């Protein structure tokens, strides 16, 4: 059974890194949790949420995991049961920051005493604070990626469309995770329960501030990437117009030669058709006219 425990005085932290029938039986036999909460723990991935009961709080938290190589965001989900004498964390896959914190407390008596010193509410705060700050420490990477796009636009790097689109997708996925998380942390900071002391609201308010700050940072990144996308599209449109202008000028300039070639290519009697040097002279005059025409366009900066 994948259940590990840290005990300190009257408080317990139950760490479950799997959720099979054995873990479900353990929770049913030792705690009076609502069946729907237990069903959520074994169900599909869902948005962050909070349910407050008379004797415990049930939390669902989503934590982003960014694959920087492929620019993909995956989700780790952790479930929390917080009561007067216990904190239960459940994850169906190993969450590194949660795993490391548990074993640090298990081996470090001073850290354990500090985390358990103010009850289960403070222990839950320490767990959430640790995971949130580790998993949302991606601002520097996003800032670096946006700065790289800005530099690439300045030097005229091509094929930025897919780079910008990938980063936009990442930001959308991150915002979809943090939006419901803000509601949960806000509810925690305003909660009034008999089994958690009111001084815990200050610590939960710190989590709420962190979630709000993260949301505003992601929103600023979203606005910047949208602006960069507009700039890049404008530059692409400008380059396309420049190419089309050049092609149009050459098409118009070569039109007289094309017309003359078509006329003299017909099987009829035409002026000077028996004087090859005269024909070449006409072509030469038209070529001179084209050169003068292009030179005038260049002089007026129309080309």
Taking 90 as the threshold, does the pLDDT of residue 132 lie above it?
A: yes
pLDDT of residue 181: 93
Please give the order of strands across the beta sheet that includes 56-67: 3-8, 11-16, 86-91, 72-83, 56-67, 49-52
pLDDT, tens digit, 9 for 90 and up, residues 274-286: 666 666 777 777 7
Ordered structural domains, the chain, with CATH:
3-237 (3.30.460.20)
Cα-only R_g, the chain? 34
Q: Which residue has the higher pLDDT, 286 or 220?
A: 220
Q: Which of 171, 126, 120 is nearest to 145 (CA)?
A: 171
Closest CA to 18 of 41, 35, 48: 41
Q: Which pair of tokens denotes residue 245?
A: 């202008």
Mean pLDDT for 280-293 is 75
Averaged pLDDT for residues 64-79: 88
Reported as type and span, the H/E element at residue 135 is helix 120-135
Residues 238, 241, 246: CA angle, nearest 5 degrees: 130
pLDDT in tens, 11-68: 899 999 888 888 888 999 999 899 999 998 887 778 899 999 989 999 999 999 988 8
What is the mean predicted confidence (pLDDT) over 123-139? 92
Q: Residue 303 pLDDT more than 70?
A: no
245-250: list long-range contacts, CB under 8 Å, 24+ apart: 245/303, 246/303, 249/294, 249/297, 249/303
User: Assign residue 47 a region: left if phi > 0, alpha if psi is -120 to 50, beta otherwise?
Assistant: beta
Using 50, 70 and 90 to split pLDDT, how confident is the model at 264?
low
- Contacts from 162-167 at CB under 8 Å and sequence distance 24+? 164/225, 164/228, 164/229, 164/232, 166/71, 167/71, 167/142, 167/225
Looking at residue 56, what DSSP letter applies? E
Per-residue pLDDT, averaged over 106-120, amounts to 89
Helix (H, G, I), strand (E, B) or coil at 271: coil
Measured between alpha carbons, how far is 178 from 50 in angstroms, rounded to an integer?
14
Kind of pairing, strands 56-67 and 11-16? unpaired
What local confidence, expressed as pLDDT, does residue 43 receive?
78
> Pick from 72, 56, 205, 196: which is nearest to 128 by CA?
205
Q: Are strands 86-91 and 72-83 parallel, antiparallel or unpaired?
A: antiparallel
Rounded to the nearest 10 degrees, how much is the dihedral formed by the CA atoms of 290, 296, 300, 302?
0
Non-local CB neighbours of 12 within 8 Å, separated by 6+ positions: 5, 6, 85, 86, 87
Tell me what percent of the residues of the chain surpass a pLDDT of 90. Answer: 37
More confident residue, 256 or 84: 84
Cα–Cα distance measured from residue 224 to residue 231, given in angstroms and rounded to the nearest whole number: 11
Q: Over the chain, what is the mean pLDDT?
A: 85
Span 152-190, pLDDT tens digits = 887 877 778 888 888 999 999 999 999 999 999 999 988
């Amino acid at each position: 059974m994948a259940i590990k425990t840290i005990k300190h005085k009257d408080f317990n932290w139950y760490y479950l890194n799997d959720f099979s029938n054995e873990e479900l039986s353990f929770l049913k036999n030792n705690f009076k949790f609502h069946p729907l909460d237990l069903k959520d723990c074994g169900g599909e991935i869902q948005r962050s949420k909070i349910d407050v009961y008379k004797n415990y709080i049930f939390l669902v938290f989503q934590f982003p995991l960014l694959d920087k190589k492929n620019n993909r965001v995956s989700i780790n989900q952790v479930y929390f049961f917080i009561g007067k004498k216990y904190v239960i964390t459940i994850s169906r896959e190993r969450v590194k920051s949660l795993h490391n914190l548990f074993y640090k407390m298990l081996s470090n008596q001073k850290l354990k005493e500090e985390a358990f010193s103010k009850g289960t509410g403070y222990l839950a705060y320490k767990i959430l604070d640790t995971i949130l700050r580790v998993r949302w420490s991606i601002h520097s990477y996003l800032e670096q990626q946006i700065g790289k796009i800005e530099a690439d636009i300045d030097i005229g790097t091509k094929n930025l469309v897919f780079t910008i689109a990938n980063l936009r997708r990442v930001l959308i996925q991150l915002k979809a995770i943090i939006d419901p998380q803000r509601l949960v942390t806000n509810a925690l900071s305003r909660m009034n329960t008999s089994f958690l002391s009111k001084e815990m609201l200050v610590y939960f308010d710190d989590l709420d501030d962190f979630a709000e700050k993260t949301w505003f940072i992601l929103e600023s990144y979203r606005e910047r990437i949208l602006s960069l996308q507009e700039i890049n599209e404008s530059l692409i449109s400008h380059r396309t117009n420049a190419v089309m202008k050049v092609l149009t000028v050459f098409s118009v300039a070569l039109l007289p030669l094309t017309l003359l070639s078509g006329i003299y290519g017909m099987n009829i009697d035409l002026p000077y058709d028996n004087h090859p040097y005269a024909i070449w002279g006409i072509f030469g005059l038209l070529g001179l006219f084209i050169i003068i025409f292009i030179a005038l366009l260049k002089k007026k900066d129309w080309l």
